[in-house]
Amino acid sequence: MLREARTLVEAGHKEIVVTGVFLGAFGQPTVRRSRWPNQRNDKLSELLEELAQVPDLKRIRLSSLEPADVTQRLLDTFCNYDNIMPHLHLSLQSGSDAVLKRMCRQYLADDFAETIRLITSRLDKPAMTADFIVGFPGETDADFEATVALAKESGFAKMHIFRFSPRKGTPAACMKDTVDKRVVKERAQILRDLDAELQYKFRQQFVGETAGILIEKDDFQAWGRAERYFKVHINNTHKAFHRNDLVEVRLAESNADGMVGSVE
């Protein structure tokens, strides 16, 4: 992986994303945390430290983590290297313990809430994003309300919302007590509305500050991603920007699609 990272940097890439299924189980023979020595894995933190020292690698992000993957050791690494972005994408899916148990998740709602508290205690205004599935078999109104409550409490920078759809061959496809499609649609919309509200609130705290923007689109109006992952449109139409440029931008306002700023 380190060799691949160096090759990508030599080819001109400024940002890489460390990704994989059960990323927190990196270096372990199984994804089952209960079978790990001390139920702990520092190998991901060690890898991240080595990646952060690759010359000229400007940005590193991690893909989806489970709550228990976020340890003090991992956050130490985040704090020690400026090129590790203050952005963590966490697997949540539901705020209901009953639903999480039916999903066979390795965490409960309180575990997730504790992880959020740990992250915010160590990182400066971190961007925390999460996945949600609505309408999982057996999800009651109370289960869904628990999800909404946990999302509000967590203050996500972005939520990815999916409606449950059965996949042949999975245990969930055989579960009874399915949720009415109209109810699933309504619940998904409630979360999307909340997502828009939380995104705006999160971005508002950065108005007037500067952010490093990695340009992703350079025609018409250039835009890119800030350290905390939100999209930033750049107003300086008289300046030429190119994809993969890394520029400092003064953030002026938040809108429905991200933020707007200018290069001073």
pLDDT, tens digit only, all 264 positions of the chain: 789 999 999 999 999 999 887 776 666 667 676 666 776 768 888 999 999 999 999 999 998 898 888 999 999 999 999 999 999 999 899 999 999 999 988 899 999 999 999 999 999 999 999 999 999 999 999 999 999 999 999 999 999 999 998 888 888 888 888 999 999 999 999 999 999 999 999 999 999 999 999 999 887 788 999 999 999 999 876 678 889 999 999 999 998 889 999 987
State the chain's maximal CA–CA distance in angstroms: 60
**Nearest partner of 85 among 129, 116, 115, judged by Cα:** 129
Do 173 and 195 lie in one domain? The reply is yes
Q: Identify any residues that bridge with 229 across adjacent strands, giving them in sequence order.
A: none
Cα Rg of the chain, angstroms: 20
Same domain, residue pair 100 and 45: yes
Contacts 24+ apart (CB under 8 A), 144-147: 144/96, 144/187, 144/190, 146/94, 146/95, 146/96, 146/109, 147/94, 147/95, 147/96, 147/99, 147/191
Q: Do 136 and 228 share a structural domain?
A: no
Beta bridge partners of 70: none
Could you tell me the CATH number of the domain that includes residue 171?
Answer: 3.80.30.20
Q: Return the number of other C-beta atoms located less than 10 Å from residue 177's C-beta.
A: 10
Give yes or no: residues 142 and 225 share one domain: no
| Phi then psi dihedrals of residue 191, to 5 deg | -70, -35
Assess whether 146 and 250 both reside in one domain: no
Q: Verify that 225 and 169 share a domain, yes or no.
A: no
Which residues form the domain of 217?
Answer: 210-262
Residue that finishes a domain, picked among 188, 204, 220: 204
Based on the fold, state whether residues 8 and 137 are members of the same structural domain. yes
- Same domain flag for 230 and 137: no
Which residues, 6+ apart, have CB-to-CB distance to 260 below 8 Å? 232, 233, 234, 235, 251, 252, 253, 254
Q: How many CB atoms lie within 10 A of CB 25?
A: 19
Q: State whether 229 and 196 are in the same domain.
A: no
Question: How far apart are alpha carbons 39 and 19 in whole angstroms?
Answer: 21
pTM, entire model: 0.90
Q: Can you tell me the distance from the alpha carbon of 101 to that of 212, in angstroms, rounded to the nearest whole number?
A: 40
Structurally, how many domains does the chain consist of? 2
Same structural domain, 258 and 196: no
Identify whether residues 179 and 156 lie together within a single domain: yes
Same domain, 82 and 198: yes
163, 179, 204 - which closes a domain: 204
